[in-house]
Amino acid sequence: MYNPDRTMNVTVGGELCDYITWWRNRITCKTPPGNNVSTVDIIISVNDVATNEFRRYDVFDRHIITAGFEYKDPTLRGMFPHYGPIAGGTSIILHGTDLDSGSKRKVTIGATECKIERVKDTFLECISSPVNSSFEGQSLQVKLTTDNVEVPFTSANDSASTFTYKPDPVIGSIVPVEAYVSVEPIIINATGFNLDSVATPMMVTQVTSSEQPYEHEKIEKACVVASGGQQMTCSGPSLANFSVLSATDLQAHDKPITAHITFKMDGLDLPRPVDGKPGYFTFNYRLELWVDRFPDEGIEVDFWQPVVKIGGKLFNVLINSTLLSIRVDSVDGACSVTEIKSDCIVCTLTSSSWDDNSPHQLDVVYGNRVYPVGNITLVKFVAKKPVTWSYQGAIAGIIVAVLLVFVVGVGFALHWRLRLNKTKPPVYFVDFENRNVGNHASDGGESPRYQETTGCVTINGVAMAAFQLDKETKAILEADKLLFNRELLVLGPVVGQGHFGCVYRGTLELQGKDEVLRVAIKTLHNNSRGGDSDSQQFLKEALIMKDFNHENVLPLIGLCVDERDGLMVITPYMKYGDLHSYLRDEKNSPTLKDLITFGIHVAKGMEYLAHLKFVHRDLAARNCMLSEDLVVRIADFGLSRDIYERDYYSEQDRKTKLPVKWMSPESLEAGVYDHKTDVWSYGVLLWELITRGTAPYAHVDNWDVLNFLKDGRRMQQPYFCPDQLYEIMLQCWELDPEKRPTFARLATDVASVITNLEKKNEDKRISLNVTYVNCPRPNTADVENR
């Protein structure tokens, strides 16, 4: 009731509300019991008389809050789940009515608090606390108190309000650990113990963005536990569900995409990292294989050496895989795999019980996929009949006669050749004063590499330079398996004229591997004016490539040294030759996306070379090669040097005609070469790509290039060039080398040009799929003030 002796009175439903705290702008009080009336008034009365200098004013007021307070009786009807691990972390949902009434709530499991996370009118969520192992198996009462009053359970079943602590779960393995990208849904089975201790187990799959290595995304999926608690089935997400992996990313991958799988078992994240093992399972999303079929009639296989070769693509995903099997007539593993390459599988039949002269079906089995290849027929090839002694005698007589005729013929030819040499001056096939072959390097004309030429003679002629390796170099090459015997190398037609001599197309037999590679063979003429110094320089520049191992850098396959044929450098054969010739050839139809992708390849290759402390010094489209699958590989390391080598040029090198229109101002002015000068050349290469090999600074004389650049003028933006790509070119052409980007940044920035064009497509002039032609701007200057 109202108390006139108090300066402050608060009544709720006519009964005094005992205040607990009283502040200038707030009163907290404890409500009296209700009288079965749901809604009552709140009355606040103030009777404060001035008594001293601190209380100078009389305050008399009374305020009524009509229906300001409502009495409720919260009740509990049930809960879920009724069990969880002793590690805690179980989300328990209490169901009832008016559960959000009152100001202070507490949930306990036995004597242990269950931390409240959410409260609504009809439910309350709390998280169980961890307990020690002594609680394992105990069923404890769950209680909810509101304002220190216990909320009753309306269920007559006592077990409806109990919670049982169970032993912690353990997960030991998952199967499968691989699945195809295209398969939906992916079903994963986990094996362990006490898996049924958790009512709602969750599998968490995490993938990482291919562009941002620190950007991760997780997707949770519920699992179903089998009876007994030792098996659990989960539905895994498709890669298409992850936003950090775009469709373009998926198409660009040529290797499995790795995901990390963990299991959220209430308060436990499994597996636990123990004994150096990571706290996750590794799962690989496999790409679809491409397996070539045998001809309809099948193939014949030697019964005595039953080796089978299977062609295709993306076989690198099979390396070290336990899911690969070669099946013959439905027998798994009947052909034992001995070698796997990206485009080839080699296997040997493991049994001699197969019938010969009858077809047998061969299939490639990978996981749950079967790829029919075709029929094989075992054939017992008959050895040739040995030659009898009488035949051998006749053959020997013929050989001796032929040799006599050959010796007489050679002697006669040498006699006439000596007479001719006395009256005819020697002929030099290659002038090595300019190793960039005349004006091609400096003027940007057609590249001579991999083109038909009459400037070389065949290997059987006299143009090859005799050469011998020193013992130390020979030992190094043999240790690295880079020295090949002459009989393994077959030279075909001349396909071009290089800096030191001729380039041949040929083949190289890999000894012991029953494999033949298509290669390019570079040779040195013996009439080079540099003599032995040219040979040593030729060898040195070939060995620069020895340790290169990158997709976008042309590697060295090996060397061949023969007393008669001299030094030969062996590299992979590039079907489309040099990039500049490919761009200029109107028969080719590269799209804008292809041209920008070529630029990405070069940036990645140069990033690799920069990491190895190498400076190229002659980066241009003519010095990049293009493979059959349109992958650019940086080549021509004739001007490359280790960045720490102080003496860049020998006396002969100083006569070299330099590619001035690709060189930076500091290279032209002071002879400085470093990674930043290569970046300048890269900008010119991008311009070559977008103009399909048009000569840079076409209207500027070589002698005027330096002044032109120092005046701040740069080449104009090609008409179809995206603005973002031209901005990258201008960054490469910064006069201050420190302001030029690194190749690592260029690889990312140029790639983003494609991404942005695909996403935004704001510039209506530009389409990534447009076919480019040679398109210099007509009647316009080639340069502009920046």
Contacting residues for 752 by C-beta, under 8 A, at least 6 apart: 724
Type of residue numbered 220: E
Type of residue numbered 291: V
Please state the separation of Cα 80 from the chain's center in Å: 45
Q: Would residue 618 show up in a list of annotated catalytic residues for this protein?
A: yes
| Other residues' Cβ atoms within 10 Å of the Cβ of residue 304 | 11
Alpha helices in 578-674 (DSSP H): 579-584, 592-611, 665-670
- Tell me which of 578, 618, 678, 782 is the catalytic residue: 618
The owner of tokens 């019980």 is 353
Alpha-carbon gap, residue 580 to 496, rounded angstroms? 14
Tokens of 513: 């591997």
Q: Could you write out the DSSP letters of every residue in 271-311?
A: S---TT--SSEEEEEEPPPEEPPPPTT-EEEESSS-EEEEE
- Cβ 127 vs Cβ 89: under 8 Å: yes
Helix, strand, or coil (residue 596): helix
Contacting residues for 183 by C-beta, under 8 A, at least 6 apart: 238
- Cβ 609 vs Cβ 619: under 8 Å: no
Alpha-carbon gap, residue 688 to 578, rounded angstroms? 13
Helix, strand, or coil (residue 741): coil
User: What are residue 466's phi and psi, to 5 degrees?
Assistant: -65, 145
Strands (E), 498-605: 502-510, 515-523, 558-562, 566-572
Alpha helices in 345-481 (DSSP H): 389-423, 440-443, 471-479
Contacting residues for 184 by C-beta, under 8 A, at least 6 apart: 238
Task: Using alpha carbons, select from 663, 767, 775 the residue that is nearest to residue 709.
Answer: 663
Tokens of 463: 């143009």
Task: Using alpha carbons, select from 194, 190, 195 the residue that is nearest to residue 205.
Answer: 190
Alpha helices in 509-631 (DSSP H): 532-543, 579-584, 592-611
Query: Which secondary-structure segment (H or E) carries 68?
Result: strand 59-70
Question: If you ran DSSP here, which 8-state letter would residue 320 be given?
Answer: T
Q: Say if residue 72 carries a ligand binding annotation.
A: no
Alpha-carbon gap, residue 774 to 381, rounded angstroms? 56
Alpha-carbon gap, residue 437 to 296, rounded angstroms? 50
Catalytic residues, by residue number, are 618
**Residue list for the binding site for ATP:** 522
